Structure 1
Amino acid sequence: MSVRSSGSRGSQARPGASGADTAPVARDPQAIRNVVLVGPAGSGKTTLVEALLVSAGVLSRAGTTVDGTTVSDFDEAEKRQQRSVGLALAPLEHDGVKVNLLDAPGYADFVGELRAGLRAADAAMFVVAANEGVDEPTRSLWRECAEVGMPRAVVVTKLDHARADYAGVVEQAREAFGEKVVPAYLLEGGRLVGLLSDDHEHDAQRGALIEAVIEESEDEGLMDRYLAGEEVDRDSLVTDLERAVARGSFHPVVPVDALSGVGTTELLDLVVAGFPSPLEHPLPEVFTPAGGKGPVMSCDPDGPLVAEIVKTTTDPYVGRVSLVRVFSGTLRPDQTVHVSGHFSSFFGEERGHEDHDEDERVGALSVPLGATQRPADQVVAGDICAIAKLTRAETGDTLSDKDCPLVLRPWSMPEPLLPLAIEAHAKADEDKLGQGLQRLAAEDPTLRIEHNPETHQIVLWCLGEAHADVVVDRLATRHGAAVDQVELKVALRETFGGRAEGHGRHVKQSGGHGQYAVCDVTVEPLPEGSGFEFVDKVVGGAVPRQFIPSVEKGVLAQMERGVAAGFPVVDVRVTLTDGKAHSVDSSDMAFQTAGSLALREAAAATSITLLEPVDQVEITVPDELVGTVMSDLSSRRGHVLGSESVGEERSVVHAEVPQLEITRYAVDLRSSTHGTGSFTRTFARYQPMPDNLARKFKTQD
């Protein structure tokens, strides 16, 4: 089957001519296709990109190219891309249409990069290896596409493998993804048979394809006429196929042998004639920097500029490089744009990205391919390019007209749940660490950087071990800041186990004015969450009125430092009952010191209870693993609250678990559920720590 047609949109508008030193330039969004390659690691996405570039004449198997890029250049760039697990852009031209291929990582730890690719693209090639089939990571990636309504075709690769089974994989895909996954081609003797063009053979398969396409047709009577034996015009079928794919409800399957090139032309034909252009893809929500609703936008090169940074990298020679999708307007070199970053407005301050607004001048525009940066004189709505040296721009930021600043709602970001405590490897690394962390935050919105004021640790919140490894490697190799991983500290609390009295006496004479302050306090524990109460029951002026706040200030300072293991004291009532003062030597600082001493003496007279933070956890897993998860939670001193079905043979387990027990739960859950489980965590409360654990912390102090 060739889906080329005289009525296909690919023939209606052509990109501008490209020379040896420039990228293909699209002047009309109708002549652009933005396609993200989605699939699990090892499915052959990067090899498929190279094969499509060869098919389009951008690369040559012999090593020569039309623009100076060699296959080895591309391979090396792709290897670097894989190490940096980010999006890689590869543009080509086919049948008069510019096709931007975005290779997205398939590892679960880098789902943030995948979602960025889904945001930048208008359709997806969902890549499945013929020798691997459909596993749970593949299903998870399909769900990612489905959640954003991404139109997609299924591409079956690695057909040359000894265990390749094209028909079997297609059947697995239909079982996993639904009956609207339908082969557009059959594979016979190493060649493709197009079912729309096959009029005499394979009637059953051809009929299934035609019926699936017609079901999406806007002509309600077309199915009846087809079933009655009426021949359906092929061009009409191609038009309906495009409509079905664009709606995200129909998924044609194409087999491709990347090594031999079989299927590459047919796949590009499908992209051009069957995939939606940027004109058909809804734009993200638009707001003003103040938070108001923005204007209704369309993919119009003559409209107001609205673009989004979908990836940020730091090049040691070029500096910061931003990969940008233009949604409206036209981006030109040397243009002054407004950069709006309002990440915290949408996702909260705790994600560590401050809101920022500033005007910046755009330098040169380019389109990357392998090791080559090819200049572009303009980038219209619907296209993708790279911009160097936007100093404040971060991934997820919006570029707009400086006179009409706007903000796009960022795409959904996964919550990083694996904490990694780090410290500079050497003194020389300390100076570079702060700037390195700042740049990493600009590049990777899925990374949360926490400077914990209680434990005095720098904590990197990552999506998993692979993500953490990449972050640490980038700190060292890109930013020159080597770090060591250290044991993560969890911020505990202390409280009094019973009522106690304390006497604080601070008296010093050293010539001239001395220091004199005495106070007596009673300390009582309060119910959880009550906070701190200070009660004044002094009579007869034993402690002058002006020094009573000083006693309270000293008590609070000691509570912050702790009285047993160095953690803050909470939920107590401190009553000032008596004291003494000196007419000359008493002072604010003297009574602060006396208040601190009184609290410490009271603590020594009773038991001190350590409180540990407890998180509310929700774990989503397949039904058959619910028992395994519950048993594991119990071994972590967790309290299971119950479970509920959420459909698709999956359940959510609700529990409360001490934070000490789930510092590595992101890794452990993935391992125990073979990548099928996910979870969320939110702080619930503090609760008393078991004595055997509490003794270890008190001993350490």
Structure 2
Amino acid sequence: MTTFEPEKIRNVGIISHSGAGKTSLAESMLYDSKTVNRRGTVEEGNTVMDFDPEEIKRTMSISTSIASCEWKGHKINILDTPGDQNFVPDTLLCMDVMDAALVIISAVSGIKVQTEKVWSWACDRKLARVIFINKMDNDRASYETTFGQINAVFKQKTLKFTLPIGSGPGFTGVVDLLHMKAYIYEKDGEGSFKEEEIPDNLLKWAEKERREVVESVAETDEELLGKYLENNTLEKDDLFKGLRKAVIAGDVVPVLCGSATQNIVIRKTLDTIINFFPSPLDVSARTGVDDKGVEVKVAPDPEGPAVAQVFKTIADPYAGKLSLFRVYSGSVSSDSNLYNISKGQKEHVGSLVSLQGKKQTQIEKATLGDIVAVAKLKSVMTGDTLADQKTKVVLNKTVVPVPVISYAVEAKSKADDEKITTSLRRLEEEDPTLRVEMDKQTNELIVSGMGQVHIEVTMHKLKEKFGLDVTIKPPRIAYKETIRGKAKGHGRLKKQSGGRGQFADCKIELEPTDNGAEFEFVNAIVGGAIPRQFIPGVEKGVKEVMSAGVLAGYNVTNCKVTLYDGQFHDVDSSELAFKIAASMAFKEAFMQCSPVLLEPVMEMEIVAPGECVGDVVSDLNKRRGRVLGVGAMGGQQRVKARVPMSEILSYAPDLRSITGGRGQFTMHFAAYEDVPPHLTQKIIDESKNSDSE
């Protein structure tokens, strides 16, 4: 494969809501650039980008796929991103390597929730943007309605680059406003077209929109404005240079229209990418920190030291780990050595490969700005910085979104218990939005993700990639038990019926700790009532009961135990006997100390449209939540609240229903609080029933 200089590289993400036609557009781009000789379809499951079995089955992207194509002397790295709410966070993580975004909007369904979200992310990252109004061949397509919605929702200066000729089944081509020509496409899907003069019925509209393009570009630059005022127009070179500068700066957003499945306006889209999107040399320096923690900038210098960052990991049970990275300074060659600056370990870079979906092509060198992959790097994880030994900089990485739903996972076969944890860790490397952890209190393996479908897909991957069958269920809530009062307890063990028996007698006082400590043990024995060697047995007995629970089988916390008296037998007493007696004493005292159950309470931050806030707050109240405050956040409202964890295990789909998919939330553990008395007995009964099964 040809090595391209940085000024000839374009890194473009295709972003939108699921179903807008991102993968179909990418497929047509690969076909028209002669990267592939057959154009696949999402419905047939044979596209370059959607190659995962789950993607084929669900006919949607679940992870960002990458392919490159050559177009008129340029290399375009295409990132086809997921748009479903369960997987769109992967789009956010991959935006780090994009320099520009092609935003796809259906002329039928218009702007949907996830399109607004990814648009916002692209704006935050100052990505150059072009909008492609897709599905113009659909019989319900409406160009003007869609364009009006774009201006109303995005509130950005947009410029029409094309006007549709016809609509629905009558959509035959476009008027190109940059060249003031009409292009009529063949119906064979090959992307071929005939250049014609603009139809009379569209000429006035075209002239009006052309003036809008020229005037808008002139207004972005004083020199161009002077030329425009003098000549009442701009020469093509000045227009194109001004457009490129304005698009890269985000001052204007061009709008194209066409059909990805019918291969209409795809070549024009490729032209737009190479003419108006930035090269890696046009983008800002990357920010990081040096070995002293000082912020530094890594400029896009082709002659500088090698600096790259891994933005995605693909786990394969047979081939091992594939690390995808972008070069931000210098270049990286095959069969070379780099350092994982994030981990402080040396790494050998074997064969570099360029990706075409799942297909890999070996290359010798990755220049500045290029996106490539390498297999079997030992210490490297997503987000790590690779560089030469002298470069002591770790590039900043995007914060991974917090999971919103969790399940307990169990292997159907006990023989797979150990393998399931290892395999999930492999999938966690591949998917940073997945979280795998062992809950030490409930002893459950917990998998957390971005939604129900995200978890389901992960479980299918466990089976497909690692041959593991599992079951999932809502996680047990890690309740705790504690006391609010003070009492004494007496435990006496006496088994003396011939031969050596067992004898131990101990008296304790139980009360809450006054410093918030989980456990405090005080030995107040005087006069040798209990010999010193048996004291550890008393403490062990207490700790074992606290671990097992008294009320409902949950850990006991915040207890101070004072051992103040007891008896022993010279022959029959032992540490084990005192451990048993201590557990008896603790249980007796515990039930007299006004015991209560504690539940984990989460602090939540919900962001939703203003018109939905009333319903959000009402729903939180039904979940025993306490609203801490409501305030403006951009164009939306932010609600802060504390809600018991047991009430929000399935909050993600409920919030989507309440807000029409426009709400989002984050949460973290806040504190343990008393379970209301009317719920305590229900939890105790459920725990006993669970133990008896």
TM-score by length of 1: 0.87
Equivalent of 1:673, from 649, 659, 673?
A: 659
Counterpart amino acid of residue 339 in structure 2: H
8 Å contact kept, 1:522–1:574: yes
In structure 2, the residue matched to 1:119 is 96
Distance 1:529 1:62, change over 3 A: closer
SS of corresponding position for 1:33: strand
Q: Distance in 2 between matches of 1:633 and 1:604?
A: 33
Structure 1 stretch displaced more, 195-204 or 158-167: 195-204
Counterpart amino acid of residue 64 in structure 2: L
Q: Distance in 1 between matches of 2:293 and 2:50?
A: 45
Q: Deviations over 1:299-321 (max 9, x none)?
A: 23332222222222223543322
In structure 2, the residue matched to 1:542 is 529
Q: Deviations over 1:94-117 (max 9, x none)?
A: 121111111001112112320233
Q: Distance in 2 between matches of 1:71 and 1:516?
A: 74
In structure 1, the residue matched to 2:256 is 254
Distance 1:77 1:493, change over 3 A: closer
In structure 2, the residue matched to 1:303 is 304
Deviation, structure 1 residue 51: 1.4
In structure 2, the residue matched to 1:101 is 78
8 Å contact kept, 1:496–1:572: yes
8 Å contact kept, 2:92–2:118: no
In structure 2, the residue matched to 1:345 is none
Q: Distance in 2 between matches of 1:233 and 1:551?
A: 93
1:171-570 paired onto structure 2 within 5 Å = 171-189=148-166, 190-198=172-180, 201=204, 202-217=206-221, 219=222, 222-223=224-225, 226-227=228-229, 230-288=232-290, 292-293=293-294, 296-341=297-342, 356-370=343-357, 372-402=359-389, 404=391, 406-507=393-494, 516-525=503-512, 529=516, 531-544=518-531, 548=535, 551-570=538-557
Distance 1:243 1:73, change over 3 A: closer
SS of corresponding position for 2:88: helix
8 Å contact kept, 1:24–1:92: no
Structure 1 stretch displaced more, 313-322 or 128-137: 313-322
Equivalent of 1:611, from 574, 577, 598?
A: 598
Counterpart check, 1:690 vs 2:676: yes
SS of corresponding position for 2:86: helix
Distance 1:662 1:76, change over 3 A: closer
Q: Distance in 1 between matches of 2:412 and 2:526?
A: 57
Counterpart amino acid of residue 187 in structure 1: P
Counterpart amino acid of residue 285 in structure 1: T
8 Å contact kept, 2:315–2:321: yes
Counterpart amino acid of residue 97 in structure 1: H
Counterpart amino acid of residue 274 in structure 1: F
Q: Distance in 1 between matches of 2:521 and 2:211?
A: 82
Counterpart amino acid of residue 279 in structure 2: S
Counterpart check, 1:149 vs 2:150: no
SS of corresponding position for 2:652: helix
Q: What percent identity do the matched residue pairs reach? A: 38
Q: Distance in 2 between matches of 1:667 and 1:33?
A: 37
SS of corresponding position for 1:373: strand
SS of corresponding position for 1:410: coil
Deviation, structure 1 residue 417: 1.7
8 Å contact kept, 1:115–1:412: no
Deviation, structure 1 residue 257: 2.2
Deviation, structure 1 residue 224: 5.8
In structure 2, the residue matched to 1:159 is 136
Distance 1:590 1:297, change over 3 A: same
Q: Distance in 2 between matches of 1:554 and 1:79?
A: 53
In structure 2, the residue matched to 1:25 is 3
1:574-589 paired onto structure 2 within 5 Å = 574-582=561-569, 586=573, 588-589=575-576
Q: Deviations over 1:39-98 (max 9, x none)?
A: 1111111111111122222233589xxxxxx99563773776566711211211112111
Distance 1:386 1:533, change over 3 A: closer
Distance 1:605 1:273, change over 3 A: same
Structure 1 stretch displaced more, 31-40 or 687-696: 687-696
Deviation, structure 1 residue 467: 0.9
Counterpart amino acid of residue 118 in structure 1: M
Q: Distance in 2 between matches of 1:505 and 1:100?
A: 76
SS of corresponding position for 2:606: strand
| Number of matched pairs | 654
Q: Distance in 1 between matches of 2:320 and 2:669?
A: 39
8 Å contact kept, 1:430–1:481: no
8 Å contact kept, 2:410–2:471: yes
In structure 1, the residue matched to 2:634 is 647
Structure 1 stretch displaced more, 531-540 or 254-263: 531-540
Counterpart check, 1:660 vs 2:646: yes
Deviation, structure 1 residue 123: 0.5
Q: Distance in 1 between matches of 2:262 and 2:670?
A: 57
Q: Structure 2: which 5+ runs fail to align?
A: 167-171, 182-202, 689-693
Distance 1:660 1:76, change over 3 A: closer
Structure 1 stretch displaced more, 590-599 or 431-440: 590-599
Q: Deviations over 1:563-611 (max 9, x none)?
A: 2211122233333332223456555554444332211121244542111
In structure 1, the residue matched to 2:623 is 636
SS of corresponding position for 1:285: strand
Q: Structure 1: which 5+ runs fail to align?
A: 1-22, 64-69, 342-355
SS of corresponding position for 2:10: strand
Distance 1:138 1:431, change over 3 A: same
Distance 1:48 1:458, change over 3 A: same
In structure 2, the residue matched to 1:8 is none
8 Å contact kept, 1:620–1:678: yes
In structure 1, the residue matched to 2:48 is 74
Deviation, structure 1 residue 661: 0.6
In structure 2, the residue matched to 1:85 is 62
Q: Distance in 2 between matches of 1:294 and 1:515?
A: 68
8 Å contact kept, 2:128–2:250: yes
Q: Distance in 1 between matches of 2:510 and 2:335?
A: 68
Q: Distance in 2 between matches of 1:379 and 1:246?
A: 24
Provide the alpha-carbon RMSD of the alignment.
2.8
Structure 1 stretch displaced more, 577-586 or 251-260: 577-586
Q: Distance in 1 between matches of 2:359 and 2:547?
A: 57
Distance 1:598 1:412, change over 3 A: same
Q: Distance in 1 between matches of 2:660 and 2:535?
A: 61
Q: Deviations over 1:94-149 (max 9, x none)?
A: 12111111100111211232023311211010111111111322212211211222
8 Å contact kept, 1:29–1:299: no
Q: Distance in 2 between matches of 1:552 and 1:79?
A: 55
SS of corresponding position for 2:212: helix
Structure 1 stretch displaced more, 84-93 or 656-665: 84-93
